[in-house]
Structure 1
């Protein structure tokens, strides 16, 4: 079969067939009397094999190796192709994400596009200082897509950069809250912590609602951060978790301060005092936990607290009794 017929039947151009010949991939079996290439059925089958391997992503050099190398291992080659394909997909996905973020910034000209690219690259820089500067400058000239800020905030390990990113997110409004809410459900504990920290700095009702939901999160760290933030916002739902924090001795000073701030609302005074007193009544608590509870009562006004401190001033545990007596003296002096 002459080269023109092979080209028509195989779909491979005559030029490519000549190229295969020059590389030694498919050498026509014979020549016609006029000197034209003549391909046998075996040659044509080899052409189809070449095209099949090229369709998998092999280069012509790799195709030649597959045909001619006696040590060729198909499984190894397929494994390499899988790895290369994954890398290519990852690179294309990264490019697509970057393009979407630039589009979300709604650039009005090439200068805006270039500035957006520069900011996005800076957010992904290996330099913590450069990332921090990018976060602090976000939105000043060219808006940074909130999706990029959220991704950076959820992955940032440097505390200074993380603070700058949370600040930038708070400035951007509530656009990133849905993505941050997804972060609360991440399988990675560090991501969940960063998510609740970021939500805590967004001062609006939707963020408050997310924090209230976070009080039932399976992650105790998330619950604690949510409680501290809600305490600062005057949300009563945080009281049980804050009392737990005092008992457990985890950020207990901050938790006691939050309870004191909540107690500035008259409607919550008795609830907080009763909650602390009830925990003090548990006979299984260690001395240190009871002392922390007594200290927390110092910031809670009202008769319930005064009565509890009076009783505690005669407690069998000397450390608790001394703490209660000191607080009573301070209250009387005040």
Structure 2
């Protein structure tokens, strides 16, 4: 039997769904890597988000053949120095479109409507009617035109916004009014009312959104980040927010997580923060299971060529060893 470890707070639910579909699996479940009941030496397949999976944990899994990430981003796995090169790595790409577009809309409305101020007003029983800006008629620049970016673009178009996509491989995409190459990001950011980042934290995206982009943004513009924190020069972002050079930011992801208590971002009144919950929606398992089942069927049948979202690991991630 093939040994599978599901490492997730709702591990039992994932395991139950797998038991219904596959009779030849030996399933182990753990809510965290600290679970003493797990026999890591037997694990051949790991299903996990990755944030709690360390180099030392991979070192305890010598029989590992496949890692199914429950997240779209697999940077946590790519950074590992002990995840063997011949281990298949697949992502959860394709299930996050609805969640990402709702998260982006939440952040856009929260920061533009000054939800921080409204909460303070409620606490002090203050009745202060302030005008807020419409999204309709504004321009949004979405950095990343994949599944999540396209879902966001479609929603913002429906809100009456002009939507510009930014991509490494510019092409016509129905969910965007236009798509430009990544090198033109500073130029299109200058025209944006909202700059929205959905980039994954891969090797070429580290701090790709930096001072050159923020310096071109309008003082009335907002920055929204639901991609990865390391894709942004956080120091440069803090500087423009402190100086009022952009209107504000709605942030779900950060360079260091959890966000350190001494980060200036906590105290900035023009920043709305959520604790990396963009993909933490209640229906996650039912969205993820069809993908997991398809990949499990292909893997157990010896057809890795039929697996979905296989990650190319031919190039080392910065900070790893070959």
TM-score by length of 2: 0.23
TM-score by length of 1: 0.22
Question: Which structure is higher in RCO with an 8 Å CA cutoff and minimum separation 6?
Answer: 2
Decide which structure has the larger Cα Rg and report it: 1
